[in-house]
Amino acid sequence: MVNAAAQDQWRLLDVQDLDTRLAQIAHRLRTLPEHAEVERLQARLADTVNRLTLAQAQAGDIARELTKAEADVEQVRQRAARDRARLDSGQGSAKDLTALQHELRTLAERQGVLEDVELAVMERQETAQSLIDEIGAEQQGLQTEIEAVSARRDVQSASLEEESGKLTTAREQAAAGIPADLLSLYERVRASSGGVGAARLYQRRCEGCRLELNATELGRIRAAPDDSVIRCEECGRILVRTPDSGL
């Protein structure tokens, strides 16, 4: 059984108060709204990366399709230019010249069809590039927003960490001089009791579990020496007696 002077037990309440405030700060650090906001924005950013990759791949396919369409048109143009040159030279028989005229008409029709195809592909290419530009702008906007939210998060985190550092120093000072066995018991109880290892007995009520002690328990505590370390029968926490305990 652990025994400790009443003053040392009272000092446990100061340590407990500091530990509670430190736990609250740690919780605030973990649950800053900016953490969730950054995650949400990063998920959207990842989505834009995927969409941009897909859009660029599609634009690449269209570019290759346009290259082929342009080559097809150019091939017909060159063939028509050669036929036109032969026709204009007047060389060949009447049958050959008639055949050239017929081929030129066919090539003109073919060229018209191919140019329509080329135009349609160019329009698709323009649409694809517009989509790439749109996604790129969205991506840039998200990156800017992530930087802004991260900056706010870092400012708040730095402030909380500074406060935590000061409280940690104060906690070390408060714990200094408390008997090692009492402090060790407090740490064990705190680890198994939701972060609260010591609580005041205030007006016959344990401030750890918020339950009022019965007459039998109060009698036991009243009869215990001042240096006895009392534990709450309900929650197991160290029960620190003070002038306000109502004993």
For the chain, percent of residues with pLDDT exceeding 70: 100
* Domain spans, the chain: 6-26+179-241, 32-162
For the chain, percent of residues with pLDDT exceeding 90: 85
139-169 pLDDT tens trace = 999 999 999 999 999 999 999 999 999 999 9
pLDDT at residue 96 above 80? no
Q: What is the mean pLDDT of residues 197-207?
A: 94
pLDDT at residue 194 above 80? yes
List the one residue out of 229, 207, 180, 236 whose CA is nearest residue 5.
229
Q: CB pairs under 8 A, 24+ apart, for 37-43? A: 37/149, 38/146, 38/149, 38/150, 38/153, 41/142, 41/145, 41/146, 41/149, 42/146
**What pLDDT sits at residue 47?**
97
70-89 pLDDT tens trace = 999 999 999 999 888 888 88
Q: Please state whether the predicted TM-score (pTM) of the whole model is above 0.95.
A: no
- 32-162: CATH topology is Helix Hairpins (1.10.287)
pLDDT at residue 2 above 90? no
